[in-house]
């Protein structure tokens, strides 16, 4: 019997109805405009809040891969609900959304697990985690058919970051996309959030993952998936993907109109 990870936040973070969900994502894609051309996309940074707040930001990244062909998408997620000092790749057969099932690429997952101290197959971090799930409907609309490697990092420390970066750098190719899921600062005034989040934007533009990690450790910047952004940047650099572009940045106040306490969002891509 197939083991499925059922939707946990459909109807909460995004529409539960298939038609409404597709209409929502396609409307975001229609709104997105670019001022430059990009080459082949190998990596994406995108937020994971409710679509009302961060959907447009995410769409800036996902529209760039619309209609492209990837065999496998690796999704790197923080763990908001469970703490564990390890990296968990979902042990089931597929993730399910209102659009249907997306199979887990168990063959590639096993390569990542092999001879690793910290990476294993399991359900830890996957049971109710929204930060991974919300990306899958965007990918389904953009790509159609593909497999996933759903990865949740239970503790974002440098040992886990470096282990995962080393493993992932060995599977990067033109048919594999890696997504890092992260929001930015939480519950500061818009002015202060802009300073904190602008620093992250600068680090990404400059491809400075060491500086970004130092900022996160010293609290000069905040990102709930900051370690995963650092991991993705290290993977891209190891794989020879030299270009990083920040596509869009905003905060929740741009939707709610309340700028007293905001959450920051950013999308970026790594490309040749």
pLDDT in tens, 75-86: 999 999 999 999
Residue 130 lies in a domain: yes
Nearest to 87 by CA among 55, 113, 64: 113
Residue 12 lies in a domain: no
State mean pLDDT over 173-186: 98
State mean pLDDT over 137-151: 98
Instruction: Report the Cα 272 to chain-centroid distance in Å.
Output: 19
pLDDT the model gives residue 111: 97
pLDDT band at 71 (very low <50, low <70, confident <90, very high): very high
User: pLDDT tens for residues 94-138?
Assistant: 999 999 999 999 999 999 999 999 999 999 999 999 999 999 999
Average pLDDT along the chain: 97
Residue 119, domain extent = 21-271
Looking at the chain, the whole-number percentage of residues with pLDDT higher than 70 is: 100
State mean pLDDT over 22-49: 96
Residue 13 lies in a domain: no
Residue 87: strand, helix, or coil: strand
DSSP letter (8 states) at residue 67: T
How many helices (H) and strands (E) the chain has is answered by: 10, 12
State mean pLDDT over 148-175: 97
How many structural domains comprise the chain?
A: 1
Residue 193 lies in a domain: yes
pLDDT over threshold 90, residue 1: no
Residue 142 lies in a domain: yes
pLDDT band at 53 (very low <50, low <70, confident <90, very high): very high
Residue 4 lies in a domain: no
Residue 51: strand, helix, or coil: helix
Residue 7 lies in a domain: no
* Other Cβ atoms closer than 10 A to 162: 14
Q: How far is Cα 255 from Cα 251, in angstroms, rounded to an integer?
A: 8
pLDDT the model gives residue 250: 98
Looking at the chain, the whole-number percentage of residues with pLDDT higher than 90 is: 99
State mean pLDDT over 158-178: 97
State mean pLDDT over 158-172: 97
Q: What is the CATH number of the domain that holds 118?
A: 3.40.830.10
Residue 8 lies in a domain: no
Beta strands 243-251; 94-97: pairing state: unpaired
pLDDT the model gives residue 211: 98
71, 100, 107, 61: CA torsion to nearest 10 = 40
Q: Phi-psi category of 157—alpha, beta or left, where left has phi over 0 and alpha has psi -120 to 50?
A: beta
Beta-sheet strands, E only, within the chain: 4-5, 41-46, 72-78, 87-90, 94-97, 100-103, 119-122, 147-153, 176-181, 186-188, 243-251, 262-271
In the chain, what is the straight-line distance between the N-terminal and C-terminal CA atoms, in Å?
42
3-state helix, strand, coil in the chain (%, to 5): 40, 25, 35
């Amino acid at each position: 019997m197939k083991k499925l990870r059922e939707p946990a936040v459909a109807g909460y973070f995004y529409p539960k109805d298939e038609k409404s969900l597709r209409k929502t994502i396609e409307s975001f894609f229609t709104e997105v405009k670019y001022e430059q051309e990009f080459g082949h996309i190998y990596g994406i940074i995108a937020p994971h809040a409710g679509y009302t707040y961060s959907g447009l930001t995410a769409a800036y990244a996902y529209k760039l891969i619309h209609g492209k062909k990837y065999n496998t998408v690796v999704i790197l997620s923080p763990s908001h609900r469970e703490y564990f000092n390890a990296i968990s790749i979902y042990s089931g057969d597929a993730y399910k959304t209102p659009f249907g099932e997306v199979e887990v690429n168990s063959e590639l997952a096993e390569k990542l697990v092999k001879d690793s101290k910290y990476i294993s197959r399991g359900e830890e971090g996957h049971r109710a985690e929204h930060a991974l799930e919300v990306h899958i409907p965007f990918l389904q609309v953009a790509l159609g058919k593909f497999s996933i490697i759903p990865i949740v990092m239970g503790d974002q420390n440098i040992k886990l970051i470096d282990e995962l970066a080393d493993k992932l750098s060995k599977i990067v190719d033109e048919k594999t996309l890696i997504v890092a899921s992260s929001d930015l600062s939480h519950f500061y005034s818009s002015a202060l959030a802009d300073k904190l989040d602008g620093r992250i934007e600068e680090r990404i533009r400059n491809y400075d993952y060491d500086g970004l990690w130092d900022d996160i450790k010293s609290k000069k910047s905040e990102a709930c998936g900051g370690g995963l952004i650092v991991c993705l940047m290290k993977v891209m650099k190891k794989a020879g993907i030299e270009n990083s572009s920040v596509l869009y940045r905003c905060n929740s106040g741009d939707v709610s109109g309340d700028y007293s306490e905001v959450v920051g969002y950013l999308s970026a891509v790594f490309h040749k």
